[in-house]
Amino acid sequence: MTVRTRTPQVAVTPAKKGRALPPFLVHVLAALGALAVVVLLTLVTDEFTNLRLATIGYYLVAVAGLTLLTGLTGQVSLGHGAFMFIGAYTVALLVKHVPAFPLWADLLLASAAGGLAGLLAGAAAARLRGPYLAGATLALAVGLPALTRKFPDFLGGSNGLSFTVHSRPAGIGVPELRWQTWIVWLSVLLALVLVVNIVRGRLGRDFRAVRDDEVAAALSGIPVGRTKILAFLVSAVCGGLAGGLQAFLLGTAAPGSFTPALSLSLLAAVVLGGLGSLWGALWGAVALVYFQAWSEDLADVLHLNTDVANNLPLAVYGVILIVVVLAFPRGIQGGFRWLRGLLRRSAE
């Protein structure tokens, strides 16, 4: 008698050609590519354009932090300029009183100071919602710059603090402003790598859950109050870094640079670029810089008086904001997504 046995079939899977890179490494490589693009742009443009590129850089990290706070957790802040104020004055005071500190330490401490202020503000604002939260943060933006008049000997009064940072190593034949632009963008891209990893990680999912439904998030085991405070902390760290970079670039920290209008402009940039989108933060930062520059050029061409010329950038920015929001409710980045979808459907 012959016994026939069945040989088990073993599924053969094709060998993988290669493993995908870890997300953190992908983000680092993207940041290096972006830095290479910025360096190339500074090499082929004049100093005035380099200054604008650097300005876009520090606005970008500020708007990205506010995007994380408002777009991902739904907390509307009208006082983000206050965190920039803290970062700028931290760098100014450190440069003047502790000149032995390297620049990277000054910027880290500026970020930490902004984060500490954000931690305190977040703890106070965790119980507030809607207009109450917006009003509380607006009071922060109004009150902090007034401290310069209370302590004029320490904070420089209305004129602020002026200083000089020699960050360029000896022997490098690069113009000072171009070197500063590289330092600004290197710092910004390092910060953005961390922000992107937060947004796409577990904490980012917690942020979105709290934004969509606080009750459901709490029932899922997410600590709502702590999550809101963490969002304020990360956002304020970005604001402190942005203010520190602004002070480093301009060599001054003055209260006139951190008025409530700055906080409102940052929030408008978030909406204009695309609420909740880090790419939108880039478009919003570009809009903040270039719409103001174009408005000033228009005022010069039309020979407008000083009062009208000073208010024209705000008026132009407001009109463009209304038009973009009406045409694309999700901002400029939302418009790009709509256009990409339209092209894809037409190609099919």
Mean pLDDT: which of 16-30, 38-52, 289-303, 325-339 is highest?
A: 38-52
Q: How far is CA 53 from the centre of its chain?
A: 14
The model's pLDDT over 155-172, given as tens digits with 9 standing for 90+, comes to: 988 888 999 887 787 777
Residue 245 has pLDDT above 90, yes or no: yes
Q: Which pLDDT does position 18 carry in this prediction?
A: 53
Bridge partners of 162? Answer: 252
Q: Which pLDDT does position 128 carry in this prediction?
A: 72
Residue 335 has pLDDT above 90, yes or no: no
Token code pair at residue 334: 């939302």
Q: Which pLDDT does position 7 carry in this prediction?
A: 47
Residue 291 has pLDDT above 90, yes or no: no
DSSP string, 99-152: TTS-HHHHHHHHHHHHHHHHHHHHHHHTT--HHHHHHHHHHHHHHHHHHHHHSH
Judged by average pLDDT, the poorest of 80-84, 126-130, 205-209, 225-229 is 126-130
Where do we find the tokens 């890179």? 21
Nearest Cα to 192, choosing from 150, 141, 242? 242
Question: What is the Cα–Cα distance from 233 to 191, expressed in whole angstroms?
Answer: 14
The model's pLDDT over 109-141, given as tens digits with 9 standing for 90+, comes to: 999 999 999 998 888 777 777 777 778 888 888
Residues above pLDDT 70, as percent of the chain: 94
The average confidence (pLDDT) of the chain is 85
The model's pLDDT over 179-214, given as tens digits with 9 standing for 90+, comes to: 999 999 999 999 999 999 998 888 889 999 988 888
Nearest Cα to 255, choosing from 168, 112, 150? 150
Judged by average pLDDT, the poorest of 67-76, 149-158, 265-274, 337-346 is 337-346
The model's pLDDT over 21-63, given as tens digits with 9 standing for 90+, comes to: 888 888 899 999 999 999 999 999 999 999 999 999 999 999 9
pLDDT band of residue 322 (cuts 50, 70, 90) is confident
pLDDT band of residue 5 (cuts 50, 70, 90) is very low
Instruction: Bin 276: left if φ > 0, else alpha if -120 < ψ < 50, else beta.
Output: left
